[in-house]
């Protein structure tokens, strides 16, 4: 049975290295092989799909999507780019350091799920490929998990193993005595060596550049010619009246696009922004109305109603800050030949209640249509404004409109924050609190946080499911049975006992090195938690037989269980960045091997000093 188990393990690794089959398919083939050969029963074979870790991973993807959709990743990406300037190595160090520090308090998978969108965005913004930065983020999160007791499951496993044997467990920040030096080593490695080894893979995950998109729209539609913001002064007759009473469209030939309350009160139902003012909306002192119209009409409006003209930012920033946010966006569409609009007359600024969108501008044959009333023809291009949800629904109107570009991608790169942004951030902090104080299990904490994000509407459910990397989830679930099989057949125990027997008699440091190498070997192909569970009792037994302290060996198990740098399947974080970075199996080995050697050397040098034998 042991030899059969070794055969399946070797074939599985070979298929991963070959790279011709998708990694989730390889994992499923391996899982089914364990059942067909009788090594595992059906319950054990499918155990990965009910494993709390897999459920937690899916929930963490939703949390990451929530932070992305509500503007945090775009904002953080912008800050990272500002700090890095045009230096790719500097950006690499900043994001890797952020990944390491965050993973000390959030799970490694949660850290990568949170940082992956902004990492991709930052890489494209600074002029490099995501493959140059994503792998360091994954490795940085694995290393940063060694900063605290709850940073990664192996830390908790080895500490609990000590307590169950009668020793004192590790304190919350005790792991940082070795975790911090290792994180610094990882940063220096990627800054001066690893960066040169990382591949420059071309991927198709470039985020939408809002700046260039807005510039293109300004040029194509001339929307800067008739765009104004007006303030309602104290003596204006508009105060405490509705828009229907004045008929701005008919009397003044202007369109009201947006209204901003200067004195909002959400508790009284007075919201700060009214994105698409209806005729029954009342106007109040100090309100700011955004309007479109010819200069002569605007002057007449200002004089008649005693309105003040507010200065505009550069039009690109004005559009970005005032007409696009987490709730409302803009998109460009083409009118199809079969559209119901062909042959109809419509007004610029018209609000289509049927679709919940507003026509801001139009162009024909790449020339802007500046007439107030437009006779629609097939092929006309419209610039529309509406909620992101309504814009997405336009995809269903393919007989009438063809959407140009990616509204969904643009929505993710809006950096303006809204109340939902703070709800998403609060849900992340809630998960951290639940994890740090061990109020509920990790998977439950992640599900609670993801549930808050979904219930608050930070991410529509359809987008939440799209945001989950199902390839990663299935691959991890299908590989968990491999760890069970290694333990069940006695394969892992046989290898471990032989190594300990030969090295323990030479010197404790040799044994420490053997424990590290064996643990890291297992961690390359099986879950790090399973690796720690397997190796912790072996390390304790070895220390006891030599009558020396088990602490350095347990620390070595925790460190080496987090050094799955050689394969994309050894840890969840490696799998999560594989597709986004376009990595192959050998990319991990090429970049990870030197870092693993450095970690091995630092562990043998520092661990016996910090935790003497």
Of the CATH numbers 1.10.760.10, 3.40.50.300, 3.30.70.1450, 3.50.50.100, which one belongs to the domain with range 328-412?
3.30.70.1450
Mean pLDDT of 87-97: 84
pTM above 0.85, yes or no: no
Q: Quick one: how far is CA 19 from the chain centroid?
A: 25
Nearest C-alpha neighbor of 532 from the set 552, 553, 564, 558 = 558
Give the start-to-end residue ranges of the domains of the chain. Answer: 2-45+72-204+469-610, 222-321, 328-412
Return the HEC string of 122-143: HHHHHCCCHHHCHHHHHHHHHH
pLDDT of residue 420: 83
Grade residue 414 by pLDDT with cuts at 50, 70 and 90. low
- 216 vs 93 pLDDT, higher one: 93
Fold that domain 222-321 belongs to in CATH: Alpha-Beta Plaits (3.30.70)
Residue 469 has pLDDT above 80, yes or no: no
- 355 vs 73 pLDDT, higher one: 355
Grade residue 33 by pLDDT with cuts at 50, 70 and 90. very high
Report yes or no: 98 and 115 within 8 Å, Cβ to Cβ. Answer: yes
Digit-coded pLDDT (tens) for 323-338: 776 678 888 888 998 8
Digit-coded pLDDT (tens) for 187-233: 999 989 988 898 887 776 565 556 667 767 777 777 766 778 899 99
> Across all residues in the chain, what is the average pLDDT?
81
Per-position b or e across 116-136, b if 16+ CB within 10 A of its CB: bbbbbbbbbbbebbbbbbbbb
> What is the percent of the chain where pLDDT is above 70?
88
Longest dimension (CA), the chain: 97
Q: Which of 35-39, 365-369, 416-420, 499-503 has the lowest mean pLDDT?
A: 499-503
Domains 222-321 and 328-412 share a fold: yes
Rounded to whole angstroms, how far apart are CA atoms 161 and 558? 12
Task: Please count the other Cβ atoms lying within 10 Å of the Cβ belonging to residue 259.
Answer: 23
- The three-class DSSP label of residue 534 is helix
Nearest C-alpha neighbor of 26 from the set 419, 553, 569 = 569
């Amino acid at each position: 049975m042991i030899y059969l188990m070794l055969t399946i393990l070797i074939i599985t690794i070979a298929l991963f290295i070959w790279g011709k089959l998708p990694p989730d398919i390889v994992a499923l083939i391996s899982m089914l092989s364990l059942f067909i050969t009788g090594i595992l029963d059906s319950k054990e074979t499918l155990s990965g799909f009910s494993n709390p870790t897999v459920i937690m991973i899916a929930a963490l993807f939703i949390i990451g999507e929530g932070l992305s959709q509500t503007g945090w990743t775009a904002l953080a990406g912008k800050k990272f780019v500002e700090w890095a300037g045009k230096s790719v190595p500097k950006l690499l160090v900043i994001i890797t350091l952020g990944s390491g520090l965050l993973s000390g308090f959030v799970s490694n998978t949660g850290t990568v799920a949170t940082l992956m969108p902004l990492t991709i965005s930052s890489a494209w913004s600074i002029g490099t490929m995501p493959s140059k930065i994503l792998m360091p983020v994954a490795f940085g999160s694995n290393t940063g998990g060694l900063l605290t007791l709850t940073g990664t499951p192996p830390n908790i496993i080895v500490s609990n193993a000590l307590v169950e044997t009668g020793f004192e467990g590790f304190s919350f920040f005790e792991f940082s005595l070795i975790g911090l030096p290792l994180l610094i080593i990882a940063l220096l490695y990627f800054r001066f060596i690893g960066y040169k080894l990382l591949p420059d893979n071309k991927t198709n995950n470039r985020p939408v550049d809002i700046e260039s998109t807005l510039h293109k729209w300004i040029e194509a539609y001339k929307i800067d010619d008739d765009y104004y913001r007006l303030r309602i002064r104290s003596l204006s007759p508009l105060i405490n009246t509705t828009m229907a009473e004045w008929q701005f469209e008919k009397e003044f030939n202007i369109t009201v696009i947006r209204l901003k309350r200067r004195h909002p009160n959400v508790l009284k139902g007075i919201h700060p922004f009214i994105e698409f003012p209806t005729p029954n909306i009342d106007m109040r002192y100090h309100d700011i109305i955004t309007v479109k119209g010819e200069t002569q009409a605007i002057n007449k409006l200002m004089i008649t109603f005693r309105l003040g003209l507010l200065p505009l930012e550069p039009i690109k920033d004005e559009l970005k800050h005032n007409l696009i946010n987490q709730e409302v966006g803009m998109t460009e569409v083409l009118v199809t030949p079969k559209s119901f609009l062909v042959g109809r007359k419509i007004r610029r600024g018209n609000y289509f209640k049927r679709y919940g969108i507003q026509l801001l501008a139009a162009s024909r044959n790449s020339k802007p249509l500046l007439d107030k009333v437009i006779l629609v023809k097939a092929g006309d291009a419209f610039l529309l404004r509406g909620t992101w949800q309504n814009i997405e629904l336009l995809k269903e109107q393919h007989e009438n409109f063809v959407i140009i570009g990616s509204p969904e991608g643009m929505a993710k790169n809006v950096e303006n924050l809204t109340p939902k942004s703070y709800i998403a951030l609060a849900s992340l902090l809630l998960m951290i609190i639940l994890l740090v104080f061990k109020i509920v299990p990790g998977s439950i904490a992640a599900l609670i946080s993801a549930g808050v994000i979904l219930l608050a509407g930070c991410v529509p459910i359809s987008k939440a499911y799209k945001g989950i990397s199902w390839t990663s989830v299935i691959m991890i679930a299908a590989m968990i049975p491999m760890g069970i099989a290694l333990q069940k057949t006695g394969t892992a125990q046989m290898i471990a006992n032989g190594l300990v027997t030969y090295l323990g008699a030479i010197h404790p440091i040799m044994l420490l090195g053997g424990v590290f190498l064996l643990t890291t070997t297992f961690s390359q192909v099986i879950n790090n938690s399973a690796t720690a569970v397997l190796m912790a009792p072996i390390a304790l037994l070895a220390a006891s037989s030599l009558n020396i302290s088990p602490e350095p060996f347990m620390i070595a198990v925790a460190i080496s269980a987090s050094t799955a740098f050689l394969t994309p399947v050894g840890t969840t974080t490696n799998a999560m960045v594989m597709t986004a970075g376009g990595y192959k199996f050998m990319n991990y080995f090429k970049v990870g091997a030197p870092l693993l050697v450095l970690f091995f050397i630092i562990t043998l040098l520092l661990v016996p000093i910090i935790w003497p034998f």
